Structure 1
Amino acid sequence: MAPSELQRQVSQNKNDITAIYDLLRHTNEKVESIHTRVGSIDTRVGSIDTRVGSIDTRVGSIDTRVASTDTRVGSIDTRVASTDTRVGSIDTRVASTDTRVASITVALRRHDNRFDEIQQTLELHGTRLSRLDETLRDHGTRLASLESRFDTVDGRFETLEGQLAEVLMILRGRGGAATS
């Protein structure tokens, strides 16, 4: 090989090595940029996890309130059944309230628009929870109204029992006079 050919190959190799270093530097910059974005995504995921935890707490509170409401409805059902047996003219049905809260399943991807969808979903759940709170308050009002009505019916039963006792005494008094 001629010295100029060797020098050309050395020069070509040097240029190739420089290009490889430039490519490596560019790749390292891209990796650092991706690493920064992943850190940002991790921060946003932590924020979403916190919000989901808050929603879980609210759902737990609602479950407790629903269980309390179910207990009260059961007690009212028992009183209505007793009243139906004694009088036979009251036919009241109390509907129980079932609340379903769908669990939030989040599939995280690297795309920012996916986080916006998750945010919208969380806002919708907040609205639904507010509506559930309103429904529970309405049920509390209805239960209080039913309890008041039951107290009124109990008073009427007591009055009827007293009147029935008086009628029986009158009838026994007449029957005793007829038999003696």
Structure 2
Amino acid sequence: MASPEIQRKIDRHGADIDALYDLLDATNTKLGTVADVQQQHGIRLDEIQQTLNHHEVRFDQIDTRFDGIDARFGGLEGRIGGLEGRFDGLEGRFGGMEGRFGGMEETQREILELLRAGQVGPTPK
């Protein structure tokens, strides 16, 4: 048989080995939990990536629509510019008509004054 000192060392080494196995089991359990969480994170990241891809497609569609709207506004801007030119021409014509009406008004005023003064009478038939 072994001496008590050797037996004590064997027992202590056995307890140390058992403690190491317990520590290894706890570590493996933790690693398993970490691996599960990493897998869940990977799945969630894939879902987020799919959502981002969907948003990218939608933003591209919206961008295309805005380009179309921008082109339509460009056409409207040209048409409005043409209308402004036409209104400027009408404004000039109305200014000329205003001058003519002013002249007609002055002529009517002179005729009225002459009629009041008796200088112009009805023409005989």
TM-score band by shorter chain is 0.5 to 0.7
Q: 2:73 corresponds to which residue?
A: 52
Amino acid across the alignment from 2:82: S
Pick closer, same or farther for the CA change 1:4–1:21 going to 2, 3 Å: same
Q: 1:27 corresponds to which residue?
A: 48
Q: 1:178 corresponds to which residue?
A: none
Whole-angstrom CA distance in 2 between matches of 1:88 and 1:66 = 32
Whole-angstrom CA distance in 1 between matches of 2:109 and 2:68 = 59
Whole-angstrom CA distance in 1 between matches of 2:47 and 2:93 = 69
Give the counterpart of 1:15 among 32, 36, 61: 36
- In structure 1, runs of 5+ residues without a counterpart are 91-163, 165-180
Give the counterpart of 2:105 among 84, 100, 103: 84
- CA deviation digits over 1:114-138, x for unaligned, max 9? xxxxxxxxxxxxxxxxxxxxxxxxx
Whole-angstrom CA distance in 2 between matches of 1:24 and 1:87 = 90
1:89 to partner: Cα distance: 8.0
Whole-angstrom CA distance in 2 between matches of 1:43 and 1:16 = 40
Whole-angstrom CA distance in 1 between matches of 2:28 and 2:46 = 27
- CA deviation digits over 1:91-141, x for unaligned, max 9? xxxxxxxxxxxxxxxxxxxxxxxxxxxxxxxxxxxxxxxxxxxxxxxxxxx
Q: 1:6 corresponds to which residue?
A: 27
| TM-score, normalised by the number of residues in structure 1 | 0.47
- CA deviation digits over 1:8-65, x for unaligned, max 9? 1111111111111111111111111111111111100000111111111111111111
Whole-angstrom CA distance in 2 between matches of 1:60 and 1:88 = 42
1:88 to partner: Cα distance: 2.0
Larger Rg: 2
1:4 to partner: Cα distance: 2.3
Whole-angstrom CA distance in 2 between matches of 1:52 and 1:15 = 55
Task: Give the percent of matched residue pairs that are identical in Structure 1 and Structure 2.
Answer: 18
Q: 1:64 corresponds to which residue?
A: 85
Pick closer, same or farther for the CA change 1:22–1:89 going to 2, 3 Å: farther
- In structure 2, runs of 5+ residues without a counterpart are 1-18, 112-119, 121-125
More helix by share: 2
Give the counterpart of 1:73 among 63, 69, 94: 94
